[in-house]
Structure 1
Amino acid sequence: MVTIKDVAAKAGVNPSTVSRVLKDNKSISQKTKDKVRQAMAELGYVPNVAAQMLASGLTYNIGLIFPPLLTPDRLSEPFFMQILSTITSEA
């Protein structure tokens, strides 16, 4: 698996620069962005979404608490389906 450090070494920049390019930071010149993106393409780098969420503290998960007497088959009832549908569309 190719890492940010691998991309940085290939592009001749610091790993923090690669991270900033991934976030499309305006402080990075277009020339550097192009060089880093070229290195990513050549190495076949794919960002690790799980690692990004862990580092940022954002998981984009929503927890739901339903009554204890609610059985799994009742989740398909229209009332609960509407709740789940609304949460999904608004999230």
Structure 2
Amino acid sequence: MAVTIKDVAKLANVAPSTVSRVIANNPRISERTKQKVREAMEQLGYHPNFIARSLANQSTRVLGLVLP
């Protein structure tokens, strides 16, 4: 089963929204909290799902190229 933001939040003892803000590198999160969350992410082997993020943002940032 895949590791989720909720799993990381539980291990780091923070809210899932805090984990999301750390991933987005929000300046309102303290460096101490960022380090704690990043250590939890590394320990669990968490990596953000970029497909899910692109669906939420409604932007894939993918360039299509058509050649003759």
TM-score, length basis structure 2? 0.88
Q: Which residue of 1 aligns with 2:31?
A: 30
Q: Tell me: higher relative CO, structure 1 or 2? Use CA pairs within 8 A at least 6 residues apart.
A: 2
Aligned residue identity for 1:40? M
- Give 4+ residue runs of structure 1 displaced > 2 Å after superposition: 61-64
Take 1:16 and 1:56, find their aligned partners in 2: how far apart are those partners?
16
Number of aligned residue pairs: give it.
67
Deviation string, structure 1 residues 23-81 (Cα, Å, up to 9, x no partner): 110000000000000000100001101011111111113567x8xxxxxxx71xxxxxx
TM-score by length of 1: 0.67
Gaps of 5+ in 1: 67-73, 76-91
- Measure the CA separation in 1 of the matches of 2:45 and 2:55: 22
More helix, by proportion: 1
Structure with max Cα Rg? 1
Partner SS, residue 13 of structure 1: coil
Match of 1:71 in 2: none
Matches within 5 A, 1:1-91: 1-62=2-63, 75=68
Percent sequence identity is 55
- Gaps (5+ residues) in structure 2? none
